[in-house]
């Protein structure tokens, strides 16, 4: 059996650290030069093809030709684009909008976004687009220890959602993908796990919630865990959400993964330009501060320019001891999950990191109750699944937790303990923030 950890934080450096060493260790100045050339190519395509949506954006900013982009600083002249604008473009110019570099002719793969932030949009991938994603994905998963010939289970949702991109990337790497879907029904999960026990895969790439559910079910069924090769989900901690980062299938799916230095996910800067913008001023925030992830995809046919994906990230550009020269990024959460308390912006990660100290469970199950998105609160209300809920000790634990969280977050907090199974077991994208209206 191959002892294969999913991400490099769990492994020693392996025989070949990089999938494409010449790109991944390229001097920073060369990366910047490449970015400038590639950005100019995209601007040229937008203006000369033309691509109406992006042409309008560029003209609004006074950019009339690719030569108007003289340095990477000129990127900030281009207006930021939000998801709602892509939705509106698809509504006005159905079915695919007027923001595509290449339309139906030339498309090799189609998929929708998951719709977790509203109406899904369509993503079209050309051969060139797939090559960019697959190459990036291969770099990412190579870092984590995946190698050609391995059999890899993944449980991304099936259907029109664009998860077949993940399957395609695993095939590109030369691994054998085993795509189970999320197995929403218990009977389905049982039959899938019994089958997997029979064929003994090399590794599971599961979201933490899926991992916990698959593992609990395998135990319940009394399956042979060595044969199934499903490790105990004991190494799931809140910060693990930065092990693998994405800007969504509509921008760039395989954005980056963490190296063995465990110091943020390296992002492929030869394929994208990263920015973290202040949500109020729209200006880039200093490295290390939280800002909204804004992406320009500089090699795709169906590209985006300064697309604000409304994720909250921190970017670091200081050298990483692993030798990769590309910037590192921490994904801290989504703008839609920000809870404003006394004008302080709090993310589920901030709460989860603190709750992590108070549970023996392999996954922290909690909810933050919010009046509505964007509302300001005078109190942070948290529900926390805990073995002592309903016991005589519950009151004192609640009080202690409320005080500890208040001290750490500098806002008033109340924590209510709830019994197991009160909080839904979502297997794909958990809803940690619940709006009460």
Q: What angle do CA 238, 239, 240 make, to 5 degrees?
A: 90
Stretch of residues binding Zn ion (CB under 5 A), selected from 23-31, 212-220, 321-329, 345-353: 321-329
Question: Minimum Å distance from CB 326 to Zn ion?
Answer: 9
Site for Zn ion in 46-105 (CB under 5 A): none
Told to check if 320 binds Zn ion by CB under 5 A, we report yes
* Residue closer to Zn ion, measured from CB, 24 or 302: 24
x/- mask, Zn ion, residues 253-282, rule CB under 5 A, reads ------x-x---------------------
Torsion sign, CA atoms 104, 106, 108, 114: negative
Among 31, 86, 249, 322, contact with Zn ion (rule: CB under 5 A): 322
Our CB check for Zn ion shows the closer of 261 and 426 to be: 261
Decide whether 261 or 416 has the Cβ nearer to Zn ion.
261
The rounded distance, in Å, linking the Cα atoms of 104 and 301 is 12
Cis status, amide bond into 95, omega within 30 of 0? yes
User: What's the closest the beta carbon of residue 92 comes to Zn ion, in angstroms?
Assistant: 43
CB distance 376 to 343 below 8 Å: yes
How far apart are CB 205 and Zn ion at their closest, in Å? 20
Q: How many helices (H) and strands (E) does the chain have?
A: 11, 20
Strand partners, 366: 384
- Under the binding rule (CB under 5 A), the answer on residue 324 touching Zn ion is yes
Report the nearest approach of Zn ion to the CB of residue 2 (Å): 24
CA distance 154 to 167: 8
Does the protein bind Zn ion through residue 329 (CB under 5 A)? no
Cβ-based nearer residue to Zn ion, 143 or 306:
143
The pair of structure tokens assigned to 178 is: 């085993």
Torsion (CA) 418, 420, 421, 425 in degrees, nearest 10: 100
The DSSP line for 307-365 is EEEEEEEEEE-SPPTTS--S-EEEEEEEGGG-EEETTEEE-HHHHHHHHGGG--SSS--
Q: What share of the chain is helix, strand, coil (3-state, %, to 5)?
A: 35, 20, 45
Minimum CB separation of residue 21 from Zn ion in Å reads 13
**Least distance to Zn ion from the beta carbon of 137, Å?**
18
433 near Zn ion, judged by CB under 5 A: no
Closer to Zn ion by Cβ: residue 12 or 198? 12
Instruction: Provide the minimum distance between the beta carbon of 328 and Zn ion in the complex, in angstroms, as a whole number.
Output: 7
Cα 288 to Cα 315: distance, rounded to the nearest angstrom: 5
Stretch that binds Zn ion, among 197-205, 231-239, 316-324, 407-415 (CB under 5 A): 316-324
- Using CB under 5 A as the binding criterion, the count of chain residues that bind Zn ion stands at 5
Q: In this complex, which beta carbon is closest to Zn ion, that of residue 100 or of residue 328?
A: 328
Q: How far is residue 329's CA from residue 285's CA, in Å, rounded to a whole number?
A: 13
- The minimum distance between CB 266 and Zn ion, in angstroms, equals 6
DSSP 211-244: HHHHHHHHHHHT--HHHHT---GGG--GGGGGSE
Binding mask 212-251 for Zn ion (x = CB under 5 A): ----------------------------------------
> How near is the Cβ of 140 to Zn ion at its closest, in Å?
12
Tokens of 38: 């590639």
- CB nearer to Zn ion: give 297 or 325: 325
Q: How far is the CB of 244 from Zn ion (least distance, A)?
A: 14
Residues 6+ apart with CB under 8 A from 207: 155, 427, 428, 429
Strand-strand pairing, 256-258 and 244-245: antiparallel
CB nearer to Zn ion: pick between 329 and 339: 329
Q: Of 285-314, which residues contact Zn ion (CB under 5 A)? A: none
* Cα radius of gyration rounded to whole Å, the chain: 22
Q: Which residue's CB is nearer to Zn ion, number 259 or number 411?
A: 259
C-beta of 216 vs 261, nearer to Zn ion: 261
Binding site for Zn ion (CB under 5 A): 259, 261, 320, 322, 324
């Amino acid at each position: 059996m191959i002892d294969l950890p999913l991400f490099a934080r769990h492994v020693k450096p392996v025989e070949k650290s990089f999938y494409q060493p010449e790109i991944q260790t390229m001097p920073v100045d060369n990366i910047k030069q490449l970015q400038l050339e590639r950005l100019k190519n995209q601007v040229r395509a937008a203006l000369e093809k033309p691509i109406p949506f992006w042409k309008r954006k560029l003209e609004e900013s006074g950019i009339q030709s690719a030569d108007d982009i003289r340095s990477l600083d000129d990127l900030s002249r281009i207006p930021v684009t939000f998801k709602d604008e892509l939705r509106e473009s698809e509504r006005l110019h159905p079915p695919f909008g007027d923001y595509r570099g290449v339309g139906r002719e030339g498309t090799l793969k189609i998929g929708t976004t998951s719709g977790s932030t509203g109406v899904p949009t369509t993503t079209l991938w050309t051969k060139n687009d797939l090559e960019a994603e697959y190459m990036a994905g291969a770099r990412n998963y190579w870092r984590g220890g995946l190698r050609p010939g391995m059999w890899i289970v993944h449980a991304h949702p099936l259907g029109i959602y664009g998860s077949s991109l993940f399957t395609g990337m695993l095939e590109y790497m030369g691994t054998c993908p085993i795509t189970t879907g999320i197995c929403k029904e218990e009977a389905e999960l049982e039959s899938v796990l019994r089958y997997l026990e029979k064929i003994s895969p090399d590794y599971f790439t599961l979201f933490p919630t899926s991992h916990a559910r698959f593992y609990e079910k395998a135990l319940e069924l009394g399956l042979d865990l060595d044969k199934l090769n499903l490790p105990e989900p004991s190494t799931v901690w809140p910060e693990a959400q930065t092990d693998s980062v994405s800007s969504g299938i509509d921008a760039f799916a395989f954005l980056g993964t963490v190296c063995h230095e465990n110091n943020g996910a390296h992002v492929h800067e030869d394929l994208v330009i990263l920015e973290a913008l202040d949500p109020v001023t729209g200006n880039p925030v200093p490295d290390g501060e939280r800002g909204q992830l804004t992406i320009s995809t500089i090699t795709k046919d169906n590209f985006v320019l300064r697309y604000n994906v409304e994720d909250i990230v921190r970017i670091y550009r200081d050298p990483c001891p692993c030798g990769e020269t590309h910037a590192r990024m921490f994904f801290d959460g989504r703008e839609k999950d920000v809870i404003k308390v006394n004008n302080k912006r709090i993310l589920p990660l901030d709460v989860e990191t603190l709750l992590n100290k108070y549970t023996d469970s392999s996954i922290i199950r909690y909810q933050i109750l919010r009046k509505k998105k964007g509302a300001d609160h005078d109190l942070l209300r948290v529900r926390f699944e805990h073995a002592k809920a309903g016991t005589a000790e519950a009151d004192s634990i609640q009080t202690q937790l409320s005080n500890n969280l208040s001290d750490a977050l500098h806002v008033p907090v109340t924590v209510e303990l709830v019994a197991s199974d009160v909080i839904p077991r979502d297997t794909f994208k958990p809803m940690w923030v619940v709006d009460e209206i």
